[in-house]
Structure 1
């Protein structure tokens, strides 16, 4: 990467969802004003425009905003979150729109008869779904590149266009440019956390299966999960709470006050790391330790075994090949060649071999749960390298290497059936992140840990 200073396009609405909702309740702002801020960003910032697909409608967003303001003025509202503008990855059904998943192959699909089950509670709560966002074709890459439409780029790199991270590329850029307050995405191997880290945002991947994936185009049902990209841990936690369909009032995660013990593997997650990333990451580790968070540095042989077995890549390729088999057979030229090449690898995995891969994965999950006894979470850099220039990824070998490095650390949470937050490490504008990963079902406790870490980072 040739630069890492924060770019002029980086100007999100600073309060995020939770604080902006408080301003709405006090009458300090209006939904129309918030939507107009987003629309102004889309109008004036090329990168913000590139973050959205052609389904974006300014008039529709204004109509929803005005309706939210009228209802609130009469003393009614769907929820405290009514009138907040967010974006949605082009992977989820939105009523009356075509879900293309970043592909030209699906352009002729019928419009969705209803919202995806993850999105329906957000609409019911009154969120304004301001637009659909660009993504890697079928969510199959961690770089965020797609030849089929406008290409958003990294919001922190000034001297050239660097990758935004993927596959929720447009979602992260929409938030980082101020064109949405938060974004809904998917995470199969880091697709929310990678672009969050590279654009100084917070990304969350919940335990898979916690949120319904009905109405979402799959890549790999074994690993797909519904996540979010936002400005804070509380914002991600809020969206997660609502998308699970919970009807109880949301409560912000309290920073964990009990002692926190984190495991930092001494290898694998730091291998091939960029010196700047490691330097800032270690500085942050000392900062957390000074705040009383215990960080244990020790080997974790499980991680090397994961690398040697390469289970996740095989499972994703096999499951995606099965789902997209007919299109791969009859319309191969319409795929992004880099996506098609990875999917076709799945043809080599038989049903019996796939079953064995599932069994081996269960063993790895059991080992992870055992290794994490006595620890609250695993901590690591979200990605070990700085974002390369988009042009550098034109070379197939460079593309493959960078994609592998972007996905390597975040995909652990998907493979091991855990939950994971990425927090921004944008000291001096560095496009990098710090990742916290916990075992299956520990989403609530991980949110409290992430909240304490976020508070400490913001106090520096």
Structure 2
């Protein structure tokens, strides 16, 4: 099958082509590698990409299919993995200057759910050091370049800084990331992709180097909402391709008879936003309203409380400094000075203040759940 460009095929289409034998995983993976060779030196999405290892996985996926193994929905689909996940056979740096001990290379349940689908891991993408930053900057390995500006080196968003770029350049169709305070959503937004941040605890964070156990979540990015929906169904149920398509069709049919209520906060979202961004958001809301969604104004004081806590460091700096002291004490002096200064804030926070912040987060979560009784 001829793929004319890296943007043309959604995952459901590729999955159908792979399952029917019109496309092989090796062909698709070679295309992903070729795309990276075209853009990789300029954009710097990957910390570690091993073409032969990826091709071996692709050939194995093809052999499984030829042997009659049931085809799963993500069988043979190239997936990039943020270098904060353990991934068997790959080193892990978490954006730091030194490779972490071997025990952190072990794959956790979230990665294994993709392996169970016989997806192809194309490589590990860059991250901000220990995922502690939202712009995507890394002074150890170079900051990946936002692909939307070919002349100026603009930040890609973080902390999953290479994930959105791997989608843009066509070296992956799914990009695994993590989200503590925006680290899937920000780089997806910066690079024109779709980031899925799930509720805390929806997927296990075992096998992920922790930033903040209080807030960390596993997630992923894709090029489109349709792709995100397809992947979510696939890994939530580990279903065969036909079952995933059937589930999505049934959900789409149900959704046609539902008028979704979208909450629009009249406060912080707009007062802290640049005019151009506000206009884009308003246009998106108007489009949704034209599709028969109902826009509902509501008060959201929890957002202001969350921002105030973030500006104080939240629980994140405390939990990260505790992790480093317990697990990687020799890493502290090698940290990027900017990251080190952020982390040091945690050492100045008392146990009483830390517990207050955690309690505040739990209280805000409970209040937000109440809000969602009235909106979708």
TM-score by length of 2: 0.89
Find out whether 1:193 has 2:185 as its counterpart. Answer: yes
- 3-state SS, counterpart of residue 115 of structure 2: helix
Q: Residues of 2 paired with 1:93 and 1:327: CA distance? A: 15
Alignment match, 1:343? 343
CA drift of 1:51 comes to 0.8
Alignment match, 2:97? 104
Q: Alpha carbon RMSD of aligned pairs, Å?
A: 2.4
Contact 1:35 1:61 in 2 (8 A): yes
Alignment match, 1:212? 204
CA drift of 1:304 comes to 2.6
Q: Residues of 2 paired with 1:311 and 1:364: CA distance? A: 16
Alignment match, 1:334? 334
- In structure 2, stretches of 5+ residues that fail to align are none
Contact 2:135 2:157 in 1 (8 A): yes
Contact 1:97 1:111 in 2 (8 A): no
Find out whether 1:38 has 2:40 as its counterpart. Answer: no
Find out whether 1:306 has 2:333 as its counterpart. Answer: no
Alignment match, 2:227? 235
Alignment match, 1:356? 356
Q: Residues of 2 paired with 1:71 and 1:287: CA distance? A: 44
Equivalent of residue 171 in structure 1, options 153, 163, 173:
163
Alignment match, 1:260? 260
Find out whether 1:20 has 2:14 as its counterpart. Answer: yes
Alignment match, 1:321? 321
CA drift of 1:326 comes to 5.8
Alignment match, 2:296? 296
Equivalent of residue 72 in structure 2, options 70, 79, 104:
79
Find out whether 1:141 has 2:133 as its counterpart. Answer: yes
The runs of at least 4 aligned residues of structure 1 exceeding 6 Å deviation read none
- 3-state SS, counterpart of residue 87 of structure 1: strand
- 3-state SS, counterpart of residue 156 of structure 1: coil
Cα offsets for 1:322-351 (capped at 9, x unmatched): 111268865544111221111110112222
More helix per residue: 2
Q: Residues of 2 paired with 1:48 and 1:234: CA distance? A: 29
Q: Residues of 1 paired with 2:172 and 2:203: CA distance? A: 22
Alignment match, 2:148? 156
Count, aligned residues: 364
Q: Residues of 1 paired with 2:61 and 2:336: CA distance? A: 40
CA drift of 1:71 comes to 3.1
Alignment match, 1:117? 109
CA drift of 1:101 comes to 0.9
CA drift of 1:242 comes to 5.0
Moved more, 301-310 or 140-149: 301-310
Question: Structure 1 residues 278 and 113 mapped into 2: Cα distance closer, same or farther (>3 Å)?
Answer: closer
Question: Structure 1 residues 245 and 120 mapped into 2: Cα distance closer, same or farther (>3 Å)?
Answer: farther
CA drift of 1:78 comes to 5.2
Alignment match, 1:182? 174
Cα offsets for 1:257-316 (capped at 9, x unmatched): 311111111121123322222222222222221221111234433323333444883201
Q: Residues of 1 paired with 2:214 and 2:354: CA distance? A: 11
Contact 2:146 2:153 in 1 (8 A): yes
- 3-state SS, counterpart of residue 262 of structure 1: strand
CA drift of 1:226 comes to 0.4
Contact 2:116 2:238 in 1 (8 A): no
Q: Residues of 2 paired with 1:243 and 1:347: CA distance? A: 39
Question: Structure 1 residues 369 and 312 mapped into 2: Cα distance closer, same or farther (>3 Å)?
Answer: farther
Contact 2:85 2:207 in 1 (8 A): yes
CA drift of 1:240 comes to 3.7
CA drift of 1:215 comes to 1.1
Moved more, 282-291 or 184-193: 282-291
- 3-state SS, counterpart of residue 210 of structure 2: coil
Contact 2:74 2:234 in 1 (8 A): no
Contact 1:86 1:180 in 2 (8 A): yes
- In structure 1, stretches of 5+ residues that fail to align are 1-10, 377-460
Moved more, 310-319 or 125-134: 310-319
CA drift of 1:139 comes to 0.7
